[in-house]
Chains A and B, each alone.
Chain A
Amino acid sequence: MSSRDVTSRVRQQVWNGSIPLEIHLHKTDCRTYDKSEPYLIQFPRLSYLGLLLHKLHAFFSESLIYPDASPAEAWLEYENVPLKWHYPLGLLYDLYSGAEPAQPSEPLSGPSLQEGDDEVLPWKLTLHFSEYPVDQLVKLDTEGKHLHDLFIHNVKEADYLRNGTGKTVMFLSKEDSTQLWNSVEQHDFNLFNPINQKLLNPQGVNLRHMPVKLYLPHAASSGLDTVNESGQESTPGSLRVVQSLITPALSSRQPQTIGTALNQIIPSLFPSRRSSLLAHAVLHGAVLPLSANVEELIRATAYLDGWLHIAIIMM
């Protein structure tokens, strides 16, 4: 199989990754206390829970104590951690579900349940319509404009990193930009792929930097030598998001790997470039091999906004 075939096969597998969700209405918002039926959905890992706002509101409106509550008042939580609407579901799951990520040594034989998933799946989330944690979660609007804004900002930034200019995104036609957002809303690969290919392969531009964000749960970041000087009480699920300029290659012969990048950005957690000693880098439910080439990962496994959103999980 050519590398191009591998890329497109992996791309397809990542696109199809999904997680079953079981969403319960919190008892304080429910007319019948804890008797409302849960909302069940198989939801794409790459997609945003914010896109479910109206469906959730419609489904639970009969059960709400205050039926007039706007869909914008809704927020989701897992074990007291408010879930950011604009993070892709897969990232939230990898960060908070507690499921064991798949190891690279395991055979790649189609979709298979990982050990530990049985206890976690379906992922049980709680929906609230009151006491929005406005200091922790960006509040969405009912028209989905804010979610779109945050998405486009990420797309622009990823583009700027890759090309050193934001021109590719700026030069997308109005139709293309609309199609990109529609492809996200509908999770439609045939709409998404042509625009994504334009963004990934601009003419006459070399790849400059790679859009990678690392998400360190509080447990991981407090182990770092940098002290949290704010002395703030950390809220449940608080994260440190780390972003740094990552070039595609260290030299003409040495491409950037996950190991070299992590060793450069957070050496205290990744003291070795070749083996994980303290923490794992997790993407789409799998532990990334440290030898993985970052540029290939960007092409095959980036999230919809063009970024690799990598969860750092302590071993």
Chain B
Amino acid sequence: MELVKNFPYLTISEFSSAISSLQSLFYRIPPSPKESGENPWLSVDIIQEHGTHYLRITKSLCTHTHTRERTSLTQGKHDQVTKQPQSSSSSDREVQVVEEYDADDQIILDNKNPQPLICYDIMLSPTYSVPVLYFSVKDVAHRYPPTMRVLYDHVIPQGYAEQTKEGSGVLGGVTVADHPITNAPVYFIHPCKTASVLQASTSFISPHNESARLDHLSYLILWIGAMGKYVGLDVPIDLGTAVKREKEEGNGTT
């Protein structure tokens, strides 16, 4: 597995490799058991537009003011999406797994009150050379417009509100700004502190160990762990375990 050359900064090709690894890993591992209590990732898509590409992770919007429903809405989740052509020989198998997963996932549509979705778009900032998180709620009934009030009432998990205000938390502050591709307002975590947050999180793991340098996928998992949890984006446990296992296997063979 290739390592990130200039941690905590990422090049475009390292970013591409990281997001496609995450996507293929997601569709390789079996979905979380329903009783796990997790709000699982529903889909992981790579979206290509205007010569750039980025990762979209979709979840149900589950908040304290929202009754948790164990149904998922897959309708429309594949529009705007191009699947990355997989070059490896495992691609056929992966596609099959994807389809099986979709078929297994029983879709129960409540037409009157469909479950709103939250989309997390991970893009590489050309300025800061770190991934940046843009997120927004997709709701056919337009109940969750991109305002700060909706952010604190419905999106940010309880107890994390302070972390997301500029100057007080580890983040550069959550605000509403225009999405770089759609130019429509979405939530956005300013990336000005991301590099130092990533550096701090790895120094905890192993301050002096060269061999602990990160491969592309582990970098992305670390970044999601550092930036995502304050806004409801966690790494699912089985995905985290799978990354660790693959890394160990990778180390064993080299």
A interface, CB within 8 angstroms of B = 84, 134-139, 141, 146, 149-150, 153, 156-157, 160-161, 166, 209, 221, 224, 226, 228-232, 238-245
Contact B49 A150 (CB under 8 A): no
B49 CB contact (under 8 Å) in A157, A230, A245: A230
B194 CB → nearest A CB, Å: 11
Contact B166 A149 (CB under 8 A): yes
Contact A229 B183 (CB under 8 A): no
Which range holds the interface residue count of chain B? 20 to 34
Tell me the complex Cα distance, A243–B178, Å: 13
Contact A153 B49 (CB under 8 A): no
B175 CB contact (under 8 Å) in A149, A231, A232, A238: A149
Contact A153 B190 (CB under 8 A): yes
Instruction: Indicate whether B184 reaches chain A with its CB closer than 8 angstroms.
Output: yes
Contact B80 A229 (CB under 8 A): yes
Contact B127 A161 (CB under 8 A): yes
Contact A226 B51 (CB under 8 A): yes
Q: Which of B131-178 contact A (CB under 8 A)?
A: 142, 145-148, 166, 173, 175-178
Contact B185 A136 (CB under 8 A): yes
- Nearest 8 CB-CB pairs, A to B? A134-B145, A230-B80, A138-B185, A226-B50, A138-B176, A157-B127, A149-B175, A239-B183
A53 CB → nearest B CB, Å: 16
Main secondary structure of the interface of B (DSSP, over half): loop
B181 CB → nearest A CB, Å: 8
Tell me the complex Cα distance, A243–B179, Å: 13
Residues of B within 8 A of A243 (CB): 126-127, 180
Tell me the complex Cα distance, A230–B76, Å: 12
Instruction: With A135-B146, A138-B176 given, name 4 new contacts (CB 8 A).
Output: A139-B147, A153-B192, A228-B49, A244-B126
Residues of B within 8 A of A161 (CB): 127
Contact A134 B147 (CB under 8 A): yes
Nearest residue, chain B, Cβ from A158 = B127
Residues of B within 8 A of A137 (CB): 185
Tell me the complex Cα distance, A157–B175, Å: 15
B192 CB contact (under 8 Å) in A166, A230, A242: A166
Nearest residue, chain A, Cβ from B185 = A138
Tell me the complex Cα distance, A149–B148, Å: 13
Residues of A within 8 A of B51 (CB): 226
CB contact under 8 A between A153 and B147, given known A241-B183, A243-B126: no
Tell me the complex Cα distance, A135–B145, Å: 7
